[in-house]
Structures are given as structure tokens and as C-alpha cells.
Structure 1
């Protein structure tokens, strides 16, 4: 993900290029050393560093982690555990996690699982030799490089133990992978990691953990009291995994026994395994023979796409021609946001608009290009950028000068503009001063309020007048709230909090018990969010979990609610319809056909529900389903490899694809109406507001009217 205004440019000697993720411990960035080495830099949250016990443990555990030198571990290469902020840098592994690989490419065969188990047992042996216990081994902490897996985050979870994070009986870890002794609040040592390894191998072989899914407390209960479900594993492998999952830690095997038991390859694989990690004849790193081919392909592609220059900060427009393209999902979300608000033909334009009409193709009858009329144009001040838009106004921010300006979208006149309030940086916080800084960043527009972050506060302005409304101390984690009535719901990965939109007062908060992916969707009485395969529903009236729904694959799209039903797409290409009140699955549909391969899913965009029909796209496919029954109304394969986004308006489905073409399909039949190729300057940023296109290019903001 691109860096944001609240992200540092440099940590220690490392130049930061992008944000990799965020969790309870802090934020993780992709960085490069002065010599060009790619590293993953974890910056610890300031709130943790206020706990002196945590800081002491962190110093100790980082020192131990730097002694770990196993081949299948992501080595700690540098750290400043006593700094403000505290940070550590590890080897960057450009590959998918085991969780992503299983979700996208399916479960692994027995020999592949055995190879994975041997590699992870070797990694755990190196960790335990340094007097460390991982304590959070799970599929997302196993990264898959072309030359084998890497175990990450060892030494970190142990440092987090016994801090404020573990108050009130909370246990650090992921349900289904936490050993029973840890859930009973007993001491957990290396045998606890063996238990987690067994659960990871079961996940790789069956696609689900051995204790199932659902609410965290239910999974934890099964871990402590019930036998694992290993019916999806081959018998010999199930026997090894069952030993790892023994309730009594003393009955579990050692990692050395596991290495011997799992490391015996099939004789047919001897030649391939003998070269594991060695240079190939062409000088590249040899791949691991037991890893599934599609996983190796994904890892190889990701390794080739590691950026060498920073991805653009949010609000600064798209990256200039980069060393690699922006991640497909990021590009998809940007296009989706723009297309979803269009009520007329959605187009991408430059300062001078160029169109090439595609004609003469069997599936694309020729059409006249739409006429674009320039409405207004104005010069932007230095540092001014387009940042948000509504049906009436376009908002500009100047991050360093702390200014926000609102323009009338119809004629470009200034509705209001002013220097906004910023939060003072506390003198005792080197993190805020050196890392976050005192710039501003607009984060969202909802419920008549414009939100922006500054230092460790979230601010709200009246979107129509720019008048100050309130501020809220959010510890620099600036959310983009979703507003329903007088409540603003702010999602923060592992929890959400609710603010009164009139005063900024925090009303209540709620912890999911899981790290939740994507954005939230809020109805009048329910908040919906995905955590991997699980869809979590929270009743906003009772402030308790309402239900969970377990899909067969990780969610790829945010949930969309229409007429009491929740619709979402998953990475294997399926579209789900779930009852919003009960969480029961109403129906599920997948793409079908000779060209469709569910293992290559992961390109889905959020469904669009219009007039009792669900329109959905995944990779190059576009489909229409009856919203009530799931019956397929029509399905179409576009010529492009991937559909980037679709929107439905005025009886037409407008489809933008990876070739840069915009197609119009008949919403009732799916028959093509026209297709045009859009030629746009890659340096231009744009927003679509109704039938007006606003383009930021070369220091100017220009608005065009789209006529049909």
C-alpha cells in the first residue's frame, strides 16, 4: 500500500517505500538499505512502548531473535529496540503467505505438506535454539518464497506477553492455533509451537484449521476440550498431525523428530530436493520441488515486482511510472470508487482528452464517442491536491500548509477554504515528532462531515461550510469513519470504535477477537466485516456479536447489503448471498466454463445490486444473478485478462478492463452495446462526480461534462 501522510519517510538507515500492513504491535513497512537490500521494517506502537515491562522484554527478545540464523526463517538484520520509536528490520520475503496461497490455489498434496512441515520444523529448531518461543505460528506468519518458506515474527509475540494487551484474560495468538495450555493460562514453551505447527499443516492439507471456524470462544473451547477434525488429511499425515495436537504438551513430538519424520522425500523428488535453495543453471534461485507450481509462480512474480521507489502517498495522485505497477487490488479499488459514483458514462481523461474508438470487432459495434465539454479549469497552489469529492463539491488538501479547500463541482468556484486546526505534538513523543509529523491528511467524507488526521488526533469539519466540529484522540491511527444516523463507526483492524458525530465523544468500542480485513459495512443495526474466510456481524444495538458466516475461501470484496441480504465475493471466484439477520447462507454461485480456473481467483470487485439483480465480476468474467435465488441470468467472458471494475446505470453495465477498454453491456441480456479504448496520461489523477470528470494534471484541476 502507498505511504500516507502519517508514515515516516525513513526509519534508521532504511528508506521506506510502501506500507505492508498493520497489527496490534504496530505498522510494517517495505524499506531499502543504503546498499539496496529490501527489508521489512516493523515500527512498534507508541502505546506499547509506554509499558516499561514490554520495552524490557522487547529489547531481550530482539537480541535473541538476532541470533536466529535458520535458512527457513526471515532473519532479523537490524533493530533499535530502545529507540523512539522502537523498530526492527527483517529480511523481506516477497512471496504470498500460506494463508493466501491456500485461499487462491487450493489445498496442498501430502508430499507438499510434508516438505512444508520439515522446513517449518527446521525453522522452529533455529528459533528454539536461541531460547525463543514463537507463540503465534499461523498460516499468515509463513511466507512462501520461490526457494522455500520463511517463518516470520518469531520473538515478537513473546515480547507482547504480560502487557496491557493481555489484561482481562486475553490471550495473544490466533484461535485454532493457540495451544490448550496457553488458553488455560499455563506456561507455554516449545511444545506450544509444535501444536501450532500441527494446526498449520492441517490447514495446508484441508484448507481449514483442525478445530473449525466460527466465534473465537467456540474455537478455543474445541481446542481445549475436543479432538481435532483430521478427516481431510491422508492417514499417514493425519497420524503425525494428531501427535502434534495432543492436549498434553509432554505427549507432543520434538521438532527434531518432526524433521526426521517429515523430511523423508518421495524418491522421485530426490533430484529436485537436492538442489533446494541452490543457484539454478541460469543463475537464479532454484525453486523447491515439493511446493505447488502455482505457488512458486506467484512467489516468483512477486519477487520480480518489489518496488525500488516509494509508492505515492495517499492524496498525492497515482505513482509516476514506477519500477513496478501498483498492486492489482489497490488499482481495482481506486477504479471501483470512481466508477461507483458515476450516473452517466464513466471515463478516464487527461488534460487534453484523447479517445480512440474501437470499431469493426464482432463483439463491439462502433459508436460515436461521447462529447466532453470543459466546464472550468483552475491552477492549483503548490502542494495542493484533490483528495475527496461529493455530489456537490471537490475537496483539496495542502498537507504541509494545513489547508483544505472546497470547490463547487459545477463551476469551480470556491465554496470555502481555510487553514485547519492541527494537533500539537507532545514534547515527550519522539514518535509523533520524527515519524508522524504535523501534516494533515483527509481520510473520508461521510454524514455531512469531512474527516482529517493530524498528529495523534482525528478531526471533523462541517463538509458544507468547513466549520470546526470536534477532534478525537486516536493515537495517530486515522480512520475513515462510516456514518449511520448520529454514529460514526471507525474500523481499526482488530476492533472498531463509535463516535457521536455531533460531539466527537466516544460512545463505545468493540473488539472482533480477530484481525479483520477490508472495510466495514454498516446498516441501521448491523456492522459487517471480513476476517479471512469469516464474515462477522456485530449487532450495533446490543453491542454483541450477532453471527458469523464461514466461506470456503478468503473474502476478496467488502460486503454489500441490499433488501436484507449480504453479498460478497471470495478469492476462489465465488459469489455469496447471506441472510443479514441470521447469517445463514441463502445461495452461492461460481463462475463456470472452459476458461474459468477457480485457483486463479482473487480479482473480484464488490457486487453491484440493482433492480433485483446482482452484477459481479471476477478476473475476465462478468455475470448477472437473480438476487433472490442466485439463478444465473447471463455470463460473459471479456477479451481482456481482467475486469478492473463495473458499475450499473440506466440499463447498462459499464465494464472497465485491464486493457484500458470501457465496454457497455446490456444489463438484461449481457449483450455488448459498444466498447471504446481510453487513452489517458498515467500522471493524471481523476475523480468522477455524477456526470462530471475532474482531472488533476500539471498543476491544474480541470472539470469536464460528459454528454451522451
Structure 2
């Protein structure tokens, strides 16, 4: 497991364990690498404050930790310590030095059948131990399978159930990962050991192909396929496909038991980890148990937004008598660079602030409208120039979310209905009963386009009437972009389509050969978009032919460390792009690289805007204390950085951020 350096607000000690690094973050809380007084390495999971304040959660947490303590077996990471009454509560499990199945497949590709069968037998054996203790895993997925030199381990078993029915899940949030949640959980909220078998089948399909058996895309689309469609197992060898298909049966009673799977999948003498994975696990790994604070440099934040960035440097340290080596990667960033003398952080003038009560958060900002929403179903529209509340509505449902908000229309879903609201006054224009199965909506110049499963259609924003509809078998359309009378939309089959916005006729299709990871952007005659392997594409908007692409490969590019694409921005003949680790600039016409900058942030990079000769970006969304950074748009040299708050958003001349329980709107008035 990759270990990131600690940050200023991280604890120095949890119970008897000295905290020396970050291992990850999940729905339950933060996971740290800890050292016992004798030097034993453990993974310490610290429960989130919001959960810890829930009395019902604490009762369930006690029961689940007690049950998890009873789990014993070579294929699980055992619980070794816990304090269920602590402030906050925590538990510690044996530390597994290795890498997740998710990272292994990203770095080295799909596994051969013999290795997948051996993996399946080991995980089924681990589930035997879990189920024998009266525990159901409930969140088995590739990132919860850790690969060690002596075999795989299951982690996070039996804990997610403690979060059910807390204030964080009252709105209907399903605990688990889309594509791995069994259909009976989605339809009837039914939990059993058979649900873990379903997830195991999905994990084996992922190991064998690099993709889940129900594809990718938005959560609602994955849930729909899990409940209503058959898995795609065409790429699996026939014998393995038969096993996986039975695990993925819609009827829980039709799935094999874990003991049956151990017998069926085990016994392959040639099974085991694929060679490249075994070689990587055999390399020594290092941890720096830092006893001193950083001085001249700041420890960098690296991001787990669309793939966790890992390591660049380390210093050996002895742990225990046997010199235990575990993974950590340190990175540093200077506080500036050659551009520091040219420009400092701006002086900010606060335009207005608005209190964020009842878990309100910024969800969308446009030129004239700011939308706030809460998990409880509150939707606010504020005047962008003054912060004055324009209107407020409440839709307390199971899946409350703003689907799209413009200066003319707001589309809001509450788990049963999708509502169309007039953005000027909050008046409800119409509603559609869809039970939370809704697709992306885009409104441009008063026209509304919607995608759902295999359909793309235009609806009248004032009445909800369908003006035209196009169906494509087997395609789940994603969020469309609209420009010059043409819709540019990606599907889940690795392609971008140009569609006539007047009637839905397909003008051309471009196959990227990799999952499209961004909304397409039209600018200066080209369509720009990024794919999941980090490639940036430019496609001729008239013909659909590739104009150019830039693919990151070679020794400096590791898809396990820095995969996935960010959103491109085109300004003054240059396309600016980020792909988790780098901020880059390319000539928009030719694709010629102009510069590349590697910030080295734990939370990764999120591009915000390009304006006034500066490229603005911030830490990725999983970092709490965000910082906004500026680069010289011509050279990529760092100019300044400033820590404002969370959820930093730039719209025109206004910067929005959340801090101190308020949403702030500020503008730059000069240099500090």
C-alpha cells in the first residue's frame, strides 16, 4: 500500500500507536500507518467525526468490531486493536505490505486465467473466514483486495454495516461501490453472504479483463445494469466465464457458496501472481517514520481523485529487529519558483459571504446564479453578484441532487421525481417520476438535452415534452456538450459522437479505444477530450478524424500512479490540460507540447481556469485544506499559491470557496 506523508492536522498518535503516514481514505474515515511501541506496523482506521457523533453508529461499530475480531484466516488482515469508545473511535488491523488489485491491474494489465483462479480461491477462502464469524463484507472490490508476496488479503470486512441508518445515509445512500453491489441490495436492501459472492464474481471479472462486468459510467447507470442487464463476460475464458456468471446470478439463491468456489477454483499448481506483479512486490519498500517537521520545503499533497498518486523519494529506516520495509512515497514542492518574484498572491476583496447551515454546500455557479444544496434536500439559488437568496426549495427524498443549473433552468432530483424549476423564481414547471433512475441533463441557450441508458433526446425545458429521441443499442450516453448546433457526447464504449442537435442524427463517431474520462470541449474547429489512460485527443469537428493526440508513456508515466484525464481548457490557441499529476500546455492546432509542470500534490491537480496570462488550479477534491495555485500561462513557471478554503471554484472574475462555515465570493484587486 502506498503511504503518503502526514499533514499538519493529522494526529501524532492514536492509542498506543505512533502515526507515521497516510494509507488512504474511505467513507468510514482516514486510514493511517501506525507503529506499535515495539515497532510493529499496523493500519489504523480513524472514524469520521460525523459518524462518531451518531449514537446508533457507535452501537453498531462495537458489534461489528467484536465480530471482526473473531475473523481468523490467512487471507484476511486481522483486527489487532480497537477503541470503540474513543474520541474518535478507531480500530487497527495488521498492516499488509503490498499493492491493491486495482493498482496492480492498472500498472500491469489483466491477469491470465490461472492467476485469476488462484486469486478467486484465496478470496473465497477469506470470505469463508469472514462469514464463519457472522460477518458480511458488503464492500468487496478491487481496492479492498491487497496483494502481498505471500498471497492476497481481504480488508475492510464487516465494518461498513455500522454506517447504515446514520444521519449520513438517511437520504438513501447505498453503502458500497457501484458495479459491485448485488441487485438484491439495490432493490430490496437485502444483505447476505450471497452478496459477497456477487462482488467476488465482479472482482474476478475485473482481474481478468481490467474492467468491471457491468462497464463504467455514472452510479445510476451501473445500478440499472446490475439490476436489469446481464454482465459482459465475452472477454473471459469460457471456464472462468461460467464461474463468474454463476456468481453474478440475479437470484442470490442461485449463486455458489464460498466453500464450493474454494474447491472449484483451487488446486492449480501453476497459479499465483502474474510475473510482473510478483516482481514488483518482491522489491524492497521503504517507510520514513518522520520525527521532525519539514523545514525549507512543504510536504506535498498527492491526490486520490481519479487514481492515487504514489511515490517519488524515500529514506530507509529500520523497523523492528528484522528491518520491516513498507511503502511510502514522499514528494516536495517549493513555495514558488523562478516566477515568485514576478507575482505574489492576489489581494482578495470579499464581495459577499453566505452561511452554510444544515450541511449546505456549493454545487454549481454560473454568471448570475449560485446553487447550494444539502443531503437533506435543500436547494438554494443565490444572486451571484450580491449573495442574496433568490429562492429556496426543499425536496426531502432519497437521492437529493442538482442535475443541472443554469441562469434559466434548474433540474433537481430527489430519488423519486426529477423537477424542472424556473431559475429566476424557483417556480416548479413540471416533474417526472423516475425513482432516481435519471441521466445527465445539459441546458444550453434555452435548449435542454438529456441522456439516459441507450437514449439521447431533447426536451422542452418549460413543459418536459420530448422533442426528439434517438436510441442506440448497448450504449450508455454520458453528459453532452453543445456547440454550433452540434451535440458532442461520449458513450461507455470508448467513443465520442457528433450529433445534430436539431434531430439527433449522428454526424460522425470517433473511437478512442479507451474510456472517455471528460466531457468533450469544442474550440477553434476541434473537439478536445481526455481518456482514462491520460491521453489528450484533438478531433476535427467537421470530419471526426483525429487531428492529434498526446499520450503519456515511457518511464515518466505510470498509470497506477497517475491515471485518468482532467478537463481541457482552450485559450489563445493553447490547450491546457491536467491528468492527475501534470499540468500541461499544447499548441491547439498541432498538439506540439509547450510545457509540462508537475506540482507534486497528494490530492492531485484540478484545473480551474486560464485568465490574465495565468493558469489556475487547485488540489484535487479529496484534500480538505485546498490551496489555489497559479502558473505563467506562457512558460508553466509557478507564480503564487494561496490557501483560501475548500471547494474552490472560479467563474469569470469571481472565486468561490468554503471556509469557516460560510461560502465566500471574492475577487482579485492586485498583488499582496
Counterpart position of 1:307: 288
The change in CA–CA distance for 1:538 and 1:323 in structure 2 (over 3 A counts) is farther
| CA deviation after TM superposition for structure 1 residue 483, in Å | 6.1
Counterpart position of 2:213: 210
Instruction: Say whether residues 1:347 and 2:347 are aligned partners.
Output: no
Asked whether the equivalents of residues 177 and 199 of structure 1 are also in contact (C-alpha less than 8 Å), the reply is yes
Instruction: Say whether residues 1:291 and 2:273 are aligned partners.
Output: yes
The change in CA–CA distance for 1:504 and 1:305 in structure 2 (over 3 A counts) is farther
Counterpart position of 1:572: 533
Secondary structure at 1:101 match in 2: helix
In structure 1, C-alpha distance between the alignment counterparts of 2:565 and 2:172, rounded to whole Å: 39
5+ residue gaps, structure 1: 274-289, 339-345, 350-371, 376-388, 394-462, 515-520, 528-535, 655-685, 697-708
In structure 1, C-alpha distance between the alignment counterparts of 2:36 and 2:373, rounded to whole Å: 33
| CA deviation after TM superposition for structure 1 residue 305, in Å | 3.4
The 5 Å alignment of 1:632-651 reads 633-634=591-592
Instruction: Say whether residues 1:91 and 2:104 are aligned partners.
Output: no
The 5 Å alignment of 1:469-508 reads 469=353, 471-472=355-356, 484-485=366-367
The 5 Å alignment of 1:23-172 reads 23-172=26-175
Secondary structure at 2:99 match in 1: coil
1:598-641 CA deviation, whole Å, 9 max, x = no partner? 867737886674544546698999995756xxxx6447999x9x
The change in CA–CA distance for 1:134 and 1:294 in structure 2 (over 3 A counts) is same
1:355-403 CA deviation, whole Å, 9 max, x = no partner? xxxxxxxxxxxxxxxxx89x9xxxxxxxxxxxxx63x34xxxxxxxxxx
| CA deviation after TM superposition for structure 1 residue 143, in Å | 2.1
Q: What's the TM-score once normalised by structure 2's chain length?
A: 0.59
Counterpart position of 1:14: 17
In structure 1, C-alpha distance between the alignment counterparts of 2:148 and 2:187, rounded to whole Å: 35
Count of aligned pairs between the two proteins = 502
Asked whether the equivalents of residues 309 and 323 of structure 1 are also in contact (C-alpha less than 8 Å), the reply is no
5+ residue gaps, structure 2: 301-312, 317-326, 412-438, 453-477, 480-489, 495-512, 616-628, 643-672
| CA deviation after TM superposition for structure 1 residue 73, in Å | 1.4
Secondary structure at 2:203 match in 1: helix
The change in CA–CA distance for 1:311 and 1:88 in structure 2 (over 3 A counts) is farther
The change in CA–CA distance for 1:689 and 1:508 in structure 2 (over 3 A counts) is farther
Secondary structure at 1:21 match in 2: strand
Instruction: Say whether residues 1:201 and 2:204 are aligned partners.
Output: yes
| CA deviation after TM superposition for structure 1 residue 300, in Å | 4.9
Moved more, 568-577 or 549-558: 549-558
Alpha-carbon RMSD across the aligned residues, in angstroms, is: 5.8
Q: What's the TM-score once normalised by structure 1's chain length?
A: 0.56
1:401-454 CA deviation, whole Å, 9 max, x = no partner? xxxxxxxxxxxxxxxxxxxxxxxxxxxxxxxxxxxxxxxxxxxxxxxxxxxxxx
The change in CA–CA distance for 1:163 and 1:257 in structure 2 (over 3 A counts) is same
1:237-283 CA deviation, whole Å, 9 max, x = no partner? 00111111112222211111111211121x4x2xxx6xxxxxxxxxx
The change in CA–CA distance for 1:206 and 1:611 in structure 2 (over 3 A counts) is same
The change in CA–CA distance for 1:223 and 1:588 in structure 2 (over 3 A counts) is farther
| CA deviation after TM superposition for structure 1 residue 104, in Å | 3.0
Asked whether the equivalents of residues 60 and 162 of structure 2 are also in contact (C-alpha less than 8 Å), the reply is yes
Asked whether the equivalents of residues 555 and 571 of structure 1 are also in contact (C-alpha less than 8 Å), the reply is yes
In structure 2, C-alpha distance between the alignment counterparts of 1:312 and 1:486, rounded to whole Å: 45
In structure 2, C-alpha distance between the alignment counterparts of 1:105 and 1:497, rounded to whole Å: 45
In structure 1, C-alpha distance between the alignment counterparts of 2:562 and 2:266, rounded to whole Å: 32
Secondary structure at 1:304 match in 2: coil
Secondary structure at 1:196 match in 2: helix
Instruction: Say whether residues 1:226 and 2:207 are aligned partners.
Output: no
In structure 1, C-alpha distance between the alignment counterparts of 2:569 and 2:194, rounded to whole Å: 48
Counterpart position of 1:464: 349
Asked whether the equivalents of residues 183 and 250 of structure 2 are also in contact (C-alpha less than 8 Å), the reply is yes
The 5 Å alignment of 1:376-391 reads 390=345
Counterpart position of 2:523: 563
In structure 2, C-alpha distance between the alignment counterparts of 1:138 and 1:198, rounded to whole Å: 10
Asked whether the equivalents of residues 554 and 571 of structure 1 are also in contact (C-alpha less than 8 Å), the reply is yes
From 602, 607, 612, the counterpart of 2:562: 602
| CA deviation after TM superposition for structure 1 residue 216, in Å | 2.5
Asked whether the equivalents of residues 136 and 193 of structure 2 are also in contact (C-alpha less than 8 Å), the reply is yes
| CA deviation after TM superposition for structure 1 residue 79, in Å | 0.8
The change in CA–CA distance for 1:310 and 1:203 in structure 2 (over 3 A counts) is farther
| CA deviation after TM superposition for structure 1 residue 231, in Å | 0.3
From 163, 166, 179, the counterpart of 2:182: 179
More RCO (CA 8 Å, sep 6+): 1
In structure 2, C-alpha distance between the alignment counterparts of 1:31 and 1:251, rounded to whole Å: 42
In structure 2, C-alpha distance between the alignment counterparts of 1:122 and 1:543, rounded to whole Å: 48
| CA deviation after TM superposition for structure 1 residue 201, in Å | 0.5
| CA deviation after TM superposition for structure 1 residue 209, in Å | 1.6
Secondary structure at 1:464 match in 2: strand
